[in-house]
Amino acid sequence: MHAKIPPVSITIAGSDCSGGAGIQADLKTFQALKCYGASVLTALTAQNTQGVQSVFPIPASFVAEQLYSLFNDIPINSVKIGMIHNESIIKIISKILQEKKAENIIVDPVMIAKSGHALLSQGAVEALKIELLKLSLCVTPNIPEAEILAGMNIQNKDDIYKAAKLIQKFCPNVLVKGGHYFSEDNLVNDFLLLEDGQEHWITYPRILSTNTHGTGCTFSAAIAAFLARRENLLNSVNKARNYLQKAIQNGVKMNIGKGCGPVDHSGLMG
């Protein structure tokens, strides 16, 4: 009798003790999409649905120990990278991923929490672009993050396209998430620019919900999960977006905390 080896995704990110974002959201997403999930902690946060109260970064040397522990034991099919906090952590992650020839790396460039709390230290943005994005398959910034990476303001769909082209200098495939851009037709317009020049607008009806904590983490983790299941990038993005839409819709019914609540990763309220 042969043992079954499931697809494996790892998340390299910060902890959200309220469970809505960070590694907690990533692991819930991996499980929901039938992937085995493992994690590498880069920071501890004290946060809840109302905001981030404090961030405690993990020493880069211990981040390295976690990475070596996983890569030296478990066959890893995809990597999702979220909150990485500072330059020293970025550099050690980049070194080890390159050394281990990691594949299917998705970077969600977490910079600012929904509450406005900075989650990436000053000076780390350049290290992110130069050290890490070049190793990655795809980067998934939201509008504010795309503005920082591209060095421009985004006001409309043309600006989203221009920003994606600028970010593509650092990473071959770029997904700009359009949730922060409010169009008159009340649609969410995500834009995927592929390495071969293909352009894909992925459009969904905007769901009116106060429970959107962790949507970016969930989206990127879902992409990594589908990549681990041997889907190509375009299919992974489309299927991940479908999953996120259902998670947001189901999450409308949730009542967790006093602020911006989480999405429903596992259909608890569906």
Q: Which of 214, 218, 251, 261 is catalytic?
A: 214
CA distance 58 to 114: 22
The catalytically annotated residue of 215, 218, 251, 260 is 215
How far apart are alpha carbons 101 and 108 in whole angstroms?
20
Evaluate whether 152 touches 163 at the Cβ level (below 8 Å). Answer: yes
What is the DSSP code string of 225-264? Answer: HHHHTT--HHHHHHHHHHHHHHHHHHHTT---SSSSPBP-
For the question of residue 270 being annotated catalytic, the response is no
DSSP class of 135? G
Q: Alpha-carbon distance 167 to 163, whole Å?
A: 6
Residue for token pair 């990127």? 220
What's phi and psi for 252, nearest 5 deg? -55, -35
The answer to whether residue 253 is catalytic is no
203 belongs to the catalytic site: no
- Sheet containing 138-139, strands listed edge to edge, beginning at the edge strand earlier in sequence: 51-57, 36-48, 8-16, 78-81, 105-107, 138-139, 173-176, 187-193, 199-205
Whether 29 is catalytic is no
Q: Which residue in 138, 177, 178, 251 is the catalytic one?
A: 177
Catalytic hit among 29, 45, 140, 212: 212
3-state secondary structure of 114: coil
Q: Spot the catalytic one: 14, 217, 251, 260.
A: 217
- Choosing from 37, 82, 216, 261, the catalytic residue is 216
Instruction: Give me 222's structure tokens.
Output: 């879902």
Query: Is 215 among the residues known to form the active site?
Result: yes
212 is catalytic: yes
- For the annotated catalytic residues, the residue numbers are 177, 212, 214-217
